[in-house]
Amino acid sequence: MNRVRFDRDNTAVLLIDHQVGLFTGVRDIGVDELKHNVVGLAKAAKVLELPIVAVTTAKDSMWGPTIPELAQVLGDDILDRSTVNAWDDERFVDLVKRTGRDHLIIAGLSFEVCASLPAIRARENGFHPVVALDACGTFSRHKREAGIARLITLGIEVSDYATLMVEIMADNADPRAGDIYAALDMPFATLMGQVAAALTS
């Protein structure tokens, strides 16, 4: 497979259904860790100036609003829909196409439905999706394992939010590197920064 790397010019981020009600059922990853990861993904994407398309499903009747921590980063520009698969909503697909990007970093809750189904449809429509697994959550480890197996079988990449962001950053000499690492908020990276600062002071 000839893989074209994800970069600042070809990549958009899709954040799907990170809603208060859905978070109550997450069992495959700690809720606090999941919030940390998806917020870090959104913040780093903004530093990298990647377009973000965010969407909810049935927020007023079923699953509630986007979690406040993420809504604070995204603002009010979040589309609500009724379809199970976001890709079945023409407004969502139009927003994705209007980014002008064909590489898509996708995170959603639940992973095997809200992230995976759009990833599958995106690939069918000529896009290059990757699912940021640790910015997704689901309701059991079995559902997580089945979802991963399905994506791998279909040839869709799975990665983690921080790896994807630093792949796009590409160079630690980038003037925004410090802001990107701060957005990712990885404890070990913070520690290494403190050690480096201490050694050079």
Catalytic site residues? Answer: 114
Max Cα-Cα span within the chain: 56
120: which residues sit within 8 A by CB, 6+ positions away? 151, 154, 156
Q: Is residue 23 a contact partner of residue 31, using CB atoms and an 8 Å limit?
A: yes
- Distance of alpha carbon 56 from alpha carbon 77, whole angstroms: 11
CA distances from 98 to 2, 85, 135 (A): 25, 19, 24
Amino acid at 116: S
What DSSP character marks residue 6? P
Cβ neighbours around 62 below 10 Å, total: 12
